[in-house]
Amino acid sequence: MSHRLMILATRTLLAGALAAACALAQATAVSGPNGTAMQGRRTVVAAPVAGVNADRPELAQAVIEAVDLGQRQLRLRGKPVAVDANLRVVQGGNLLSQGLRALRAGQHIRFALAPGDQPGRPVVLVYIDQQP
């Protein structure tokens, strides 16, 4: 009888130790080593890593009506829009070295303006979707 009691006590002790180890592992997975999961989320939002959550440009679609190389402007939707000196032009996944000179009237494009909310922001990025 004492042998059976000893086996039962050993099994109970092992089961308890295993349950405690699982509970500790679950707490570590949810809470992390230095705080709760929610604290970690607040830290990421308060101090994001540079480049990871950087603002992505919002792309608008248009058809180029005219290109003015001298004034560095595009006519889009009937209005002249300034072009940034460091304009990036992409076609078919390739960055075109010609910049503004690669653009022609009639091209269907997606474009992004410089960051900010002030009026008169220049175009900084153009994706050529379709040639005329």
- In a shared domain, residues 64 and 126: yes
**Is the residue at 55 inside a domain?**
no
Q: End-to-end alpha-carbon separation of the chain, Å?
A: 94
d(CA 59, CA 46): 27
Residue 11: the pLDDT is 76
Evaluate if pTM is beyond 0.75. Answer: no
Residue 116: the pLDDT is 83
Residues 59, 64, 67, CA angle at the centre, nearest 5°?
120
Q: Which residue matches tokens 């607040």?
A: 42
Structure tokens at 37: 């999961």
d(CA 82, CA 102): 16
- In a shared domain, residues 86 and 114: yes
**Is the residue at 98 inside a domain?**
yes
CATH of the domain at 81: 2.40.50.320
**Is the residue at 52 inside a domain?**
no
- In a shared domain, residues 33 and 65: no
**Mean pLDDT per 10-residue section of the chain, whose length is 132 residues:** 71 68 52 52 53 68 96 96 94 88 95 89 93 81
- In a shared domain, residues 10 and 35: yes
Residue 101: the pLDDT is 94
d(CA 80, CA 74): 6
Range of the domain at 118: 60-130
- In a shared domain, residues 41 and 72: no
Q: How many domains does the chain have?
A: 2
Residue 90: the pLDDT is 92
